[in-house]
């Protein structure tokens, strides 16, 4: 029999349901993290609420939310929101429509990566810090160009469509270009892409995600 005295239990046990041996108490730490993630989602999605507009006007201004440093002098709540960014980023996926509100450099729209943190991307693109994704979309689509050895344009095309994944968009554009090369009778083709991830996958340096493995296989078939 249990003695009539205080028995210590961890907060994790206390948060379990009574059927599981706990007291069904709220896990405030987890709840707090979820609440901050909810606020971050409102911020990055430019919610119409007054608080979000105030945050962009006074706290973020022209800085990138995902890459800005935590100010030395700011409210406790704002400091916690900024410290939660790495956790929140795992649960946020950017789906590009017109790209007018998405920062090319400072929003993790490209495979969850903030391109400003990638020195190779900065050398490759050489775009101003204020560039928006809309500036890289032509007529609502992503396309490509086929050039010869002298950099003369042989074929310009719009072939990637409005896929939800930037990687799939890039790979589809590459596939359309390879098909165009076959039509032009070009057998020796050097593939280049704006997406470093796409290039590394095609060079067998990285394993492709499951959702684009068939697409990668078709590209390699055309390269053979």
End-to-end CA distance of the chain: 75
Top mean pLDDT of 27-31, 37-41, 218-222 is at: 37-41
Model confidence at 153: pLDDT above 60: no
Asked whether residue 183 is domain-assigned, the answer is yes
**What residue numbers bound the domain in which 170 lies?**
138-223
68-110: per-residue pLDDT in tens? 899 988 899 999 999 999 899 888 888 777 778 888 888 888 7
- d(CA 70, CA 150) in angstroms, rounded, equals 48
Asked whether residue 181 is domain-assigned, the answer is yes
Does 80 lie in the same domain as 20? yes
190-215: per-residue pLDDT in tens? 777 767 788 888 888 888 888 888 88
What mean pLDDT do residues 177-185 have? 72
pLDDT for 159 equals 46
Q: Which two tokens stand for residue 86?
A: 């790495």
Task: Examine the fold and report which residue of 92, 109, 129 is the final residue of a domain before the chain moves on.
Answer: 92
**Coil/strand/helix, residue 158:** strand
**Coil/strand/helix, residue 30:** helix
Mean pLDDT score of the chain: 78
pLDDT for 200 equals 84
Asked if residue 173 lies in contact with residue 199, where contact means CB atoms within 8 angstroms, the answer is: no
Does 219 lie in the same domain as 145? yes
What mean pLDDT do residues 11-23 have? 71
Does 87 lie in the same domain as 143? no
Q: How many CA atoms lie within 13 A of 119 on its CB side?
A: 0
| Helices and strands in the chain: count of H runs, count of E runs | 9, 2
Asked whether residue 125 is domain-assigned, the answer is no
Asked whether residue 118 is domain-assigned, the answer is no
Taking CA atoms, 22 is separated from 8, 15, 29, 145, 203, in Å, by 12, 6, 17, 62, 53
pLDDT band at 160 (very low <50, low <70, confident <90, very high): very low
pLDDT band at 59 (very low <50, low <70, confident <90, very high): very high
pLDDT band at 158 (very low <50, low <70, confident <90, very high): very low
Domain tally, the chain? 2
């Amino acid at each position: 029999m249990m003695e009539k005295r205080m028995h210590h239990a961890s907060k994790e046990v206390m948060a379990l349901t009574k059927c599981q041996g706990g007291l069904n108490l709220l896990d405030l730490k987890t709840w707090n993290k979820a609440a901050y993630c909810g606020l971050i989602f409102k911020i990055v999605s430019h919610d119409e609420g007054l608080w979000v507009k105030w945050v962009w006007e006074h706290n973020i201004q022209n800085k990138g939310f995902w890459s800005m440093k935590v100010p030395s002098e700011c409210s406790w709540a704002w400091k916690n929101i900024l410290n939660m960014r790495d956790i929140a980023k795992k649960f946020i996926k950017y789906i590009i429509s017109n790209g007018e509100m998405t920062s090319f450099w400072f929003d993790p729209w490209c495979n969850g990566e903030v391109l400003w943190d990638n020195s190779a991307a900065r050398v490759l693109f050489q775009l101003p810090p204020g560039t928006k994704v809309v500036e890289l979309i032509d007529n609502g689509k992503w396309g490509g160009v086929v050039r010869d050895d002298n950099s003369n344009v042989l074929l310009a095309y719009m072939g990637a469509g409005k896929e939800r994944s930037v990687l799939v968009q890039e790979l589809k554009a590459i596939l359309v270009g390879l098909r165009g090369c076959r039509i032009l009778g070009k057998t020796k083709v050097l593939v280049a892409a704006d997406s470093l991830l796409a290039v590394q996958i095609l060079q067998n340096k990285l394993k492709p995600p499951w959702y684009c493995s068939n697409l990668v296989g078709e590209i390699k078939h055309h390269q053979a």
